[in-house]
């Protein structure tokens, strides 16, 4: 572990907390869809790649598995993901070492105990998360606050890492895009979709730096043989950023803000200085960054097949999906007063857009990535 001596608060962009109508908890069906779609892939990945003996031996706690979900938010999706993983590992145990699940009192035959660490930013609503923990869960639970771009666990501690729909959040807006003197200045936009190549590159570079930090920290925290399972919103290599529906929607949101500057409701400067710190990488970008880290082998990298349009079946759900995810960020910059106006305008624009009129065209592919910690 790099000894930093202390742990600073990182910039954070929490989704909407609580359980209200605009909460993430109530408006995350798309993210849930990704986890549901990955269930079989998780099972297959664990059966094929999770080496119980090797992984557990290296951790010395012979019947204990430490699992962390990075970017857990407030639930309920994280609980579903964790349950899928726990069940798959239990199945693997049953197949490999039936006595692991034996309830005998013999010290060496204790059942596997799962300790799950739920991580998210300091500003995440952990109170809601903890109150939502499934009463019938078969694991010990802990919350770990802090940025997943930093170290959060001791060395060689975790056996399994999961992160779903979280790594596309950048640690910060790339500084060039709000710098008037930079060729990457993103004037009149709040996002890289439909912006120039320089803006796109600034975002892409920031994503690479962030994923490097994530992998560097996890490489130290994982035992050799430990697995990382990532679900990342992606764009296919052959597509432009604008070919991802969510990207188009964030750009539409930007155009609403630009309209509001024209009506004097928001200052132009406010809009120019705001950018959404989200980036959807291509599979080849993720592959290249993982290669640069060098501590992981890529066991699997596949597109998740989910019927996105079914998960956001109507206009309201589509708008609430983005509101739950982005409102905190928008409020912090623009103040609370314009939120209803902004989301009304956004709702109207979405209603008239091809995204909504032709839902079959909805594209928000997810990338399923399975990494294994190398011995070196």
Of the two residues 47 and 141, which places its CB atom closer to its own copies in the complex?
A: 141
- In terms of Cβ atoms closer than 10 Å to its own Cβ (0-12, 13-18, 19+), residue 64 is middle
| Residue 181 interacting with its own copies (CB under 8 A) | no
| Residue 123 interacting with its own copies (CB under 8 A) | yes
The tally of CA atoms less than 13 A away on the side-chain side of residue 122 is 9
Q: Quote the least distance from Cβ 132 to its own copies, whole Å.
A: 10
Q: Which stretch binds its own copies (CB under 8 A): 34-42, 148-156, 182-190, 231-239?
A: 148-156
| Residue 160 interacting with its own copies (CB under 8 A) | no
* Cβ(147)–Cβ(171) below 8 Å: yes
x-marked contacts with its own copies along 69-108 as a string, rule CB under 8 A: ----------------------------------x-----
β 366-373/222-233 pair status: antiparallel
| Residue 152 interacting with its own copies (CB under 8 A) | yes
Q: Which of 186, 187, 210, 212 is nearest to 200 (CA)?
A: 186
| Residue 335 interacting with its own copies (CB under 8 A) | no
x-marked contacts with its own copies along 219-248 as a string, rule CB under 8 A: ------------------------------
Strands, DSSP E only, in 102-221? 113-120, 140-145, 158-164
| Residue 109 interacting with its own copies (CB under 8 A) | no
Q: Binding residue for its own copies (CB under 8 A) from 53, 94, 155, 354?
A: 155
Tokens describing residue 61: 């706690």
Q: Which residue has the tokens 């779903």?
A: 164
Q: Which stretch binds its own copies (CB under 8 A): 46-54, 124-132, 169-177, 332-340?
A: 124-132
| Residue 141 interacting with its own copies (CB under 8 A) | yes
The tally of CA atoms less than 13 A away on the side-chain side of residue 340 is 1
Q: Binding residue for its own copies (CB under 8 A) from 21, 61, 335, 348?
A: 61
Other CB atoms within 10 Å distance of the CB of residue 106: 8
Using CA atoms in the order 25, 31, 36, 42, what is the torsion angle rounded to 10 degrees?
Answer: -110
Residues 2-41 that bind its own copies (CB under 8 A): 3, 5-9
Q: Which stretch binds its own copies (CB under 8 A): 59-67, 237-245, 337-345, 364-372?
A: 59-67
| Residue 294 interacting with its own copies (CB under 8 A) | no
Q: Binding residue for its own copies (CB under 8 A) from 54, 87, 109, 111?
A: 111
Q: Which of 85, 61, 102 is nearest to 139 (CA)?
A: 85
Phi, psi (rounded to 5 degrees) for 140? -80, 145
Residue 227 parent element (H or E):
strand 222-233
Of the two residues 4 and 180, which places its CB atom closer to its own copies in the complex?
A: 4
Tell me how far apart the alpha carbons of residues 100 and 112 are, in angstroms, rounded to a whole number. 6
Tokens describing residue 183: 């060729």
Tokens describing residue 176: 């060039």
Q: Which residues bind its own copies (CB under 8 A)?
A: 1, 3, 5-9, 60-61, 63-64, 103, 110-111, 113, 115, 117, 122-123, 125-127, 130-131, 133, 135-138, 140-146, 151-157
């Amino acid at each position: 572990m790099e000894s930093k001596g202390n742990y600073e608060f990182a910039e954070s962009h929490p989704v909407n907390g609580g359980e209200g109508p605009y909460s993430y908890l109530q408006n995350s069906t798309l993210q849930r869809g990704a986890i549901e779609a990955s269930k079989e892939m998780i099972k297959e990945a664990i059966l094929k790649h999770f080496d119980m003996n090797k992984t557990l031996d290296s951790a010395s706690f012979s019947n204990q598995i430490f699992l962390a979900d990075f970017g857990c938010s407030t639930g309920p999706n994280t609980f579903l993901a964790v349950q899928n993983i726990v069940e798959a590992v239990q199945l693997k145990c049953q197949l490999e070492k039936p006595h692991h699940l034996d309830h005998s009192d013999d010290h060496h035959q204790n059942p596997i105990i799962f300790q799950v660490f739920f991580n998210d930013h300091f500003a995440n609503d952990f109170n809601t998360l903890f109150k939502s923990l499934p009463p019938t869960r078969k694991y010990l639970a802990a919350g770990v606050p802090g940025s997943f771009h930093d170290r959060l666990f001791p060395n060689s501690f975790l056996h399994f890492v999961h992160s779903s729909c979280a790594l596309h959040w950048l640690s910060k807006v790339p500084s060039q895009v709000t710098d008037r003197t930079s060729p990457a200045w993103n004037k009149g936009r709040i996002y890289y979709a439909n912006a120039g190549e320089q803006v796109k590159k600034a975002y892409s570079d920031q994503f690479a730096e962030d994923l490097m930090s994530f992998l560097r920290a996890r490489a130290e925290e994982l035992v050799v043989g430990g697995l990382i399972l990532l679900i990342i919103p992606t764009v296919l290599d052959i597509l432009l950023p604008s070919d991802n529906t969510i990207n188009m929607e964030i750009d539409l949101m930007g155009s609403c803000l630009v309209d509001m500057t024209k009506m004097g409701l928001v200052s132009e400067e406010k809009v120019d200085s705001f950018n959404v710190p989200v980036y959807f990488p291509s599979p080849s970008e993720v592959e290249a960054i993982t290669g640069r880290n060098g501590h992981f082998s890529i066991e699997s990298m596949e597109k998740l097949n989910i019927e996105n349009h079914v998960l956001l079946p109507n206009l309201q759900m589509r708008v609430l999906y983005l509101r739950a995810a982005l409102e905190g960020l928008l409020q912090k910059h623009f103040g609370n007063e314009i939120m209803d106006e902004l989301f009304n305008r956004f709702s109207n624009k979405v209603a008239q857009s091809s995204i909504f009129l032709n839902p079959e065209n909805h594209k928000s592919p997810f990338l399923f990535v399975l990494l294994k910690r190398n011995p070196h």
